Amino acid sequence: MPALKLFGRKWLAATDDLVYPGLFELFIRIVWLILIGIACVRYYEDTWNCRLGGELVRVYLLGEAIMLSIVTLLILIIIRHSARGTIMDTHARRYVEPLLIIKILMLLPEIGWNVLGTMWIFGQSVECNLATYSITVVEALVFFDWILIGLSIFGLALVFDPIGSLEKRQLENSVEHGKISRIWLRRFKFLWWMRKDESANETFQHVAGLLSALFRGTDLVPSDVVAGCILLRVRQKREIHELRKLNLITRPKYTSDSSAIFTDTPSWMSLKAAHHFLQLSIASYGWLFVIYQHLCTGCFRLIRGMTCCACFRRKRNIILDDNCCLCYLSGIKYLSKLSEEDILFASLKNHLCEIPFCVIADHKTANIVVIIRGSLSLRDLITDIAAASDSFECPGLPPDSTAHKGMIIGVKIILKQLENYKVLERAFATYPNYNLTITGHSLGAGLAILLGLMIRPRYPDLRVYAFATPAGLLSRDAARITEEFVLTVGLGDDLVMRLSVDSIENLRTALLGTLRACRLPKYRVVLNGFGYALFGIPENDLSKTWTNYDIITTPGQSPLLIKSNDVNKIIERDITKRRYSKEQLFNAGRILHITRCKLEKTEGKSKKQLAKERKYEMRWAQAEEFTKLSVMPRMLLDHLPENIELALATLLEQQNDIPYYFDP
C-alpha cells in the first residue's frame, strides 16, 4: 500500500508484494542457471563439431546463461528493495517500480531466446551429437521457461485493474463514482456466465454501487487486506490485554444448564427443537453436503435415493429444476431421513436472488416445515453482497421499516412460488392439525425470518428457527418484533452473524488505521501470520508491531450513518467518513449465543482427546452485540452448519434427561 504504479496506471499489487513471488522465482532461476552453466562448461567445445546449426546452439547456451544471470541479479535486487520500509513507507521502495518495468521488458528477449531453444529441440535446423545431459537440460529449460513466461503474463492479467486509470482524482465527484460503478457492472456481466433473470440487472447495479463506494479511493490491494486482518487480530489481542490489566473486561454470564436458559421462554424454544430443525436445515444443502461429508462414499449413499429417468416419470409431488435422476432430492432425503412422500414441494432453481427451498411434512414434530437453503453458489454470494437497506413493509411492522435488499427480493420470489402452487394450502388440507415452522441456515435463516414476517398474519402461530443469521437483516424496531416467534442460534465468533454494510465500513476504517500504525514490513506481517495460526500470538508482538504505542487504543464509536441519499456523502474523499448505508441493520429474533468453554491443558492428553472433552455454554444475547466485525481464528469455522450442529448436540449431552415436547 499504496497500489503499484506502472505504465501510467495503478495495479492490484503494491511495491512490497514482490518478496515471496520473487523468492520463488529466484530459486527456479538459480537452479536453471546452475544446470545451464554445467552444460556450457562441459559441452560447449562439442558444439564446434556440429554438422549443422552449431552457431545456433552456442548462441542459445551463452545467451541463456547471460540472460539467466541478469534476470537472477535483477530479481535479487527487486526482493531486497521490496522488503524495505513499513507498509506505508513507499519512499524506501521507490526503486521497485523502475526495476519491475525492466523485469517486465526482459520478457521480450526471454521469449526470443526460448524460441531459439524450441527451434533447437523440436526443429530440423540443428544436427549435433551432444551429450544426453545437455539435450535433457535444454528440453526441460525450454518447457518450464514457457510455463514461467505464461505465469508472468497471467500474473500481470491477475493484478490488472481496469479502474486504475480513473484514479487520478480519487472520487472527486459523482461522475467519477458513476464511471467506477459502471466498470464494476461490466465486470459482473463479463463474469456472469449464468442465465439472467428478472432481478439480475437491478441487483448488479446495486452491488456495483456498493463495492465502488466501499473500496475505491482506499488505495488498498488484496495483500493489504490480508496483512490488515493479521494486524487487526494482534490489535484486538492487545486491546484485550490492556483492558484486563485495568480490570475493565467483564465476561458475560454463560451457563450450560438449559433449564436456567429456557425458564421464561415458550415451550417451543428448546435445545432439542433447535437441534432437530438445524438437521433439517442442513438437509436443504442436498447432494453437495453429502459429498462434502463423505468424499469417498458419498456417491454410493446417494444412489439409493435416486430415480432413474425421473424426468419421464410421473412425480408424486412437485419437484422443480432437479436433474433427471433427482440427485438433489436424493441428498435431501438422505440427510433428513425422510421419505419422498413427506417432501411435499421442492423448488431447486438457483438464480440470482432465487434460493432453493423445500416444504416437508415433519411427522416427528407435527409440523409443516419450510426449509430454505443457505449460500452455496456465486449467485447466492452476490445475493448476500446486495446488503444495503431497503424499505420492507408488511402487516405488524413499524412504518419505515427496512431490511436487506437482496433478501427482500429473494423472499418475494419464494412467497410467489408458494402462492402459485398453493403449497401451504394443500399441505394443511392433508395435515390439518399440523403447525407451520420455517427454518434455514445463513442466507436461508435471513430469508426464513423475512418470510415469517410476511405470512404471519395468515399463520399467527408459526415459528422460525434461524441459524447463523446475517447481522444486516432488519431495522432495530422490526427486529424486536421478531423476538416473539423467532429463535436465532449462533456459535462463537461466527463471521456472518456480524457481517453487514455498516460493520464492513467500520472494518475498512480500522484496517486503514492499523496499517498506518504498523512498523513491520508486509512480508514480516504475513510470515508472522503463519506463526500466529500455528502457535498463537506471543506477548512480545503485542507491542513491537506498532510505530507508536499510544496509537492503538480501544476503538470508539463508529462515524454517524448518513441519513440521506446524497451521493456526495457516499463519495466523500475522507474514507473514514464515507458511509454507504442509510440505516444500520441488525440481527433478528431471540438470539441464543453458544460459546466454547476453555479447557485447561493437562499432560498426557492429545488435541483430539481435548476436542472430545470440549464443552459448550450459552446465554441470551442482544442484537447490538453483533454489530462489530472482529478478526478471530474461528470466525469462518463457527459459521459452518456441522459445527453448530456439534455444539447443540454436545449441549444436549450435557443436560439431564429433559422431556422433549412441542407446543401444539
**Domain of 610: which CATH number?**
3.40.50.1820
Q: What is the DSSP letter of 196?
A: P
Q: Is 422 left (phi over 0), alpha (psi -120 to 50) or beta?
A: left
The answer to whether residue 609 sits within a structural domain is: yes
Which of 161, 188, 207 terminates a domain? The answer is: 161
Confidence (pLDDT) at 490: 97
Please check whether residue 508 is in contact with residue 232, taking contact to mean a CB–CB distance below 8 angstroms: no
Please check whether residue 286 is in contact with residue 326, taking contact to mean a CB–CB distance below 8 angstroms: no
Most confident of 165-169, 284-288, 527-531: 284-288
Q: Find the mean pLDDT for residues 19-46.
A: 88
**How many structural domains compose the chain?**
3
**Residue-number span of the structural domain to which 119 is assigned:** 3-161
CB neighbour burial string for 86-118, b if at least 16 within 10 angstroms, e if fewer: bbbebebbeebeebbeebeeeeeebeebbebbb
Helix axes 19-43, 54-82, angle to 10 degrees: 150
Q: How confident is the model at residue 578 (pLDDT cuts 50, 70, 90)?
A: low
Which of 559, 580, 601 terminates a domain? The answer is: 580
The answer to whether residue 117 sits within a structural domain is: yes
Q: Choose the weakest-confidence range: 216-225, 272-281, 648-657.
A: 216-225
Please, where are the H alpha helices in 520-622? Answer: 522-535, 541-544, 567-570, 607-612
205 grid coordinates: 447495479
Q: How confident is the model at residue 95 (pLDDT cuts 50, 70, 90)?
A: very high
Same-domain check for residues 208 and 121: no
Cα angle, residue 581 at apex, residues 576 and 582 outer, rounded to 5°: 120
Q: How confident is the model at residue 42 (pLDDT cuts 50, 70, 90)?
A: confident
The answer to whether residue 251 sits within a structural domain is: no
Same-domain check for residues 286 and 179: no
Confidence (pLDDT) at 312: 57
Is the pLDDT at 560 greater than 50? The verdict is: no
Same-domain check for residues 16 and 62: yes
Is the pLDDT at 559 greater than 50? The verdict is: no
| CA atoms of 487 and 370, how far apart (whole Å) | 15
Confidence (pLDDT) at 190: 59
Same-domain check for residues 455 and 469: yes
31 grid coordinates: 537452479
The answer to whether residue 243 sits within a structural domain is: no
Q: Find the mean pLDDT for residues 609-626.
A: 82
Which of 545, 580, 615 terminates a domain? The answer is: 580
Same-domain check for residues 150 and 186: no
Q: Which helix (H) or strand (E) holds 626?
A: none
Please check whether residue 70 is in contact with residue 106, taking contact to mean a CB–CB distance below 8 angstroms: yes
Whether this model's pTM surpasses 0.85: no
| CA atoms of 79 and 67, how far apart (whole Å) | 18
Phi, psi of 391 (to 5 degrees): -60, 135
Amino acid at 627: T
The answer to whether residue 241 sits within a structural domain is: no
| CA atoms of 137 and 57, how far apart (whole Å) | 13
Same-domain check for residues 45 and 182: no
Is the pLDDT at 216 greater than 70? The verdict is: no
Is the pLDDT at 555 greater than 80? The verdict is: no
State the Cα torsion 143-145-151-154 to the nearest 10°. Answer: -100
Give the dihedral sign, CA 501/504/506/512.
negative
Confidence (pLDDT) at 545: 80
List for the chain the helix, strand, coil content (%; round to 5).
55, 10, 35
Q: Measuring CA to CA, which residue among 59, 351, 44, 416 is closest to residue 200?
A: 351
Q: Measuring CA to CA, which residue among 353, 375, 11, 351 is closest to residue 207?
A: 353
409 grid coordinates: 427480493
Same-domain check for residues 34 and 55: yes
Same-domain check for residues 462 and 595: yes
Is the pLDDT at 445 greater than 60? The verdict is: yes
The answer to whether residue 245 sits within a structural domain is: no
Confidence (pLDDT) at 282: 97
| CA atoms of 469 and 251, how far apart (whole Å) | 23
Q: Measuring CA to CA, which residue among 521, 523, 517 is closest to residue 542?
A: 517
Confidence (pLDDT) at 321: 85
Same-domain check for residues 515 and 570: yes
Q: Find the mean pLDDT for residues 529-536.
A: 85
Phi, psi of 393 (to 5 degrees): -115, 130
Same-domain check for residues 573 and 599: no
Q: Is 247 left (phi over 0), alpha (psi -120 to 50) or beta?
A: left
Please check whether residue 92 is in contact with residue 141, taking contact to mean a CB–CB distance below 8 angstroms: no
Q: Which helix (H) or strand (E) holds 278?
A: helix 271-283
User: 263-321: per-residue pLDDT in tens?
Assistant: 889 999 999 999 999 999 999 999 999 999 998 898 989 988 887 766 655 556 688 88
| CA atoms of 425 and 370, how far apart (whole Å) | 13
Place of cell 444436549: 652
Same-domain check for residues 562 and 604: no
Q: How confident is the model at residue 548 (pLDDT cuts 50, 70, 90)?
A: low
Confidence (pLDDT) at 179: 61
Q: How confident is the model at residue 550 (pLDDT cuts 50, 70, 90)?
A: very low
Same-domain check for residues 7 and 54: yes
Please check whether residue 357 is in contact with residue 370, taking contact to mean a CB–CB distance below 8 angstroms: yes
The answer to whether residue 274 sits within a structural domain is: yes
| CA atoms of 296 and 293, how far apart (whole Å) | 9
The answer to whether residue 229 sits within a structural domain is: no
Please check whether residue 407 is in contact with residue 229, taking contact to mean a CB–CB distance below 8 angstroms: no
Give the dihedral sign, CA 377/382/384/385.
positive
Compute the mean pLDDT over every residue in the chain, rounded to the nearest whole number: 83
272 grid coordinates: 432439542
Confidence (pLDDT) at 189: 59
Percent of the chain residues past pLDDT 90, beyond the cut: 42
Place of cell 440470482: 352
Q: Measuring CA to CA, which residue among 224, 505, 268, 290 is closest to residue 369?
A: 268
Q: Find the mean pLDDT for residues 176-198.
A: 58
Contacts of 325 (CB under 8 A, 6+ apart): 306, 307, 308, 309, 310
